[in-house]
Structure 1
Amino acid sequence: MHLPSRRPLLTGTAVTALLLSLSACGGGAAADAKTGEYKLVQNGVITAATQSEQPPFAITDSAGRPTGFAVELMNEAAERLDLKVQYKTTTLQGILAGLSAGQYDIGVAGVGATAERKKSVAFTTPFYWGFTDVLTLKDGKQDALPDFDGKRVGAVSGSVQEDFVHREMGGANLVKFKDQTALITQLLSGGVEAAVLGGASADAYVAKEPVRIAVKLASLQGSAFPMRKNGDPRLLKDIDHQIDEMIDDGTYIRLYKKYFHDPIASDLIKERPKLAEQVMNHPDLAPSRR
């Protein structure tokens, strides 16, 4: 597996220095969350758009209920704000379009907070930062991006991975799919020779399907909850506050370990400095020193 990096990797001393400095930055007490009336699509209920097959962020369990890292994080934040969440399942494009149209209050999935998307929706502070992976069948021989020149490479329509193919794999023939289920089905049947996914989703498929990670690159942006531009800014601020509270009390780390095996990225610690102290208490989650 080829592991090129867009950023210099941290030495052991640099990791410690980063964590200590960021811990100091995050030491101030956050303002108490205000749980009064929010400007919502439905009074007292957060209307949330999610996906049914975006492991490990948002999936549907055997009982037909939404679950996953992003869903559990949102449910916990809402409970702490004394709010209920009503989920509506759609595609990534449906989440973003529905927020712009005022149909939803928030998107609950692994949504990259890109500069382009920030023109039409608001974003919380990122709650996850990972990798972009190129998957092939297990017997595939490719291990570098140029190996896919002239090949059919799939990505979910409207995703940051679609942008990645345009930007980094210009010699490939891009094939767009409505969701990850359709994409992986075509990879397994030979309809495409590679699938580009977020690293956490790729790990989930590697664990259960005959596929491998051919190329891994650091992501350029974190995953965050998108919200309506004309929504209630207090709700965005309070959700962010509750996530920081979950970091402080260990809830975030418990959920992270439930769904992820990778260390917490240094980019995420910069965005959420409260993670620095938690990572010092959990050395297995320290940023990679490869």
Structure 2
Amino acid sequence: MHLSCTRRPLLAGTAAAALLLALTACGSGIEAANSTAPRYKLVQPGVITAATQAEQPPFAVVDASGKPSGFAVDLMNESAKRLGVKVQYKTTNLQGILAGLSAGQYDIGVAGVGATPERKKQVAFTTPYYWGFTDVVTLKGGKQNKLPDFDGKRVGAVSGSVQETFINREMSGADLVKFKDQTALIAQLLSGGVEAVVLGGADADEYVKKQPIRIAVEFDSLQGSAFPLPKDGDPELLKDIDAQIDAMIEDGTYIKLYKKYFHDPIARDLIMERPKLAQQLIEHPDLAPTRD
């Protein structure tokens, strides 16, 4: 008798056993339900390989034991937890994150990475999860308070960063000096190797708390910070991470994490990108945007 892979009434005894064997051979829905196929196409099956930075407060900082923390890391960890996948972090610099994603070494970059038009040609991005400011920072005794004050001066930025682009575009009279990471950048500012450095606003706020430096000039950022992923990576992973960030906004988790790391109001540009934030700001008016 020919058995088709269709649903049939339950049979007793040996007939039922025979039918079960036949259904298994046919690849029935039972097999599909118990499938252990990976949910996403990842560098390591079942594990998100994430590239991060060692020194980019408050987005990503790695302690002496190699454990990362920060706003971007917390968002990623919570997203992965909700998606039921593990995250393994690899430490590199900004250029290493972008190059590694393009080379297929990483599944995602977890840091404060500006989603610029140039970078979108190289990698894919989630919707921005943060939108801040661009700060020109000097030593505490500095007298500069406008961009022309830095004409002819050595001004540092991390190589390949959006701050490097800012200097080229808005501070063309300055002498740009590139550094591989923020640790070297701040060290040169403190030692007098450069007269100023350009940082993301949130990063600058963290350094001002710890070092004898000041914010001389502040501008709105031209783009938000987002998680970069490989251009040819799994689109479902990008979509699901975006969905989890929106879910965290709706249930209040995002605001809780934001207040842990930031004191500035949430930017209007970010609310336009993540409109679910508007409802949360009714309950948290202290974070409502105040700058035009």
Task: Determine if the TM-score, normalized by the shorter chain, exceeds 0.5.
Answer: yes
TM-score, with normalisation over the residues of structure 1? 0.87
Q: Which runs of 4+ in 1 moved over 2 A?
A: 61-64
Aligned amino acid, residue 89 of structure 2:
Y
**1:174 Cα deviation after fit:** 0.3
Corresponding position of 1:12: none
- Amino acid aligned to 2:169: R
Gaps of 5+ in 1: 1-34
Query: Unpaired segments of 5 or more residues in structure 2?
Result: 1-36
Q: Secondary structure at the match of 1:133?
A: strand
Q: Which residue of 2 is the match for residue 245 of structure 1?
A: 247
TM-score when normalising by structure 2: 0.86
Which deviations, in whole Å up to 9, do the C-alpha atoms of 1:22-65 show, x marking residues without a partner?
xxxxxxxxxxxxx9610111100000000000000000135430
What is the 5 A alignment of 1:1-290? 37-289=39-291
Do the aligned residues in 1 keep the contact of 2:129 with 2:226 (CA within 8 Å)? yes
Distance in 2 between residues matched to 1:234 and 1:36, nearest whole Å = 12
RCO comparison, higher one (Cα < 8 Å, 6+): 1
Contact 2:38 / 2:46 at 8 angstroms: preserved in 1? no
**Partner amino acid, structure 2, of 1:87:** Y
- Partner SS for 1:234: helix
SS for the counterpart of 1:98 is helix
Q: Which has the larger radius of gyration?
A: 2
Residues 144-201 of structure 1: CA deviation (Å, up to 9, x unaligned) = 0000000000000000000000000000000000000000000000000000000000
* Cα offsets for 1:216-268 (capped at 9, x unmatched): 00000000000001110000000000000000111100000000010000000
Identity of aligned residues (%): 79
**How large is the Cα RMSD of the aligned pairs?**
1.1
Q: What is the count of residue pairs matched by the alignment? A: 256
Assess if the C-alpha contact under 8 Å between 2:58 and 2:261 holds in 1.
yes
**Matches of 2:142 and 2:290 in 1, distance apart?**
27
State the partner residue of 1:15: none
Q: Distance in 2 between matches of 1:160 and 1:271?
A: 19
Shift of 1:289: 4.4
Asked if 1 retains the 8 angstrom alpha-carbon contact of 2:136 and 2:197, the reply is yes
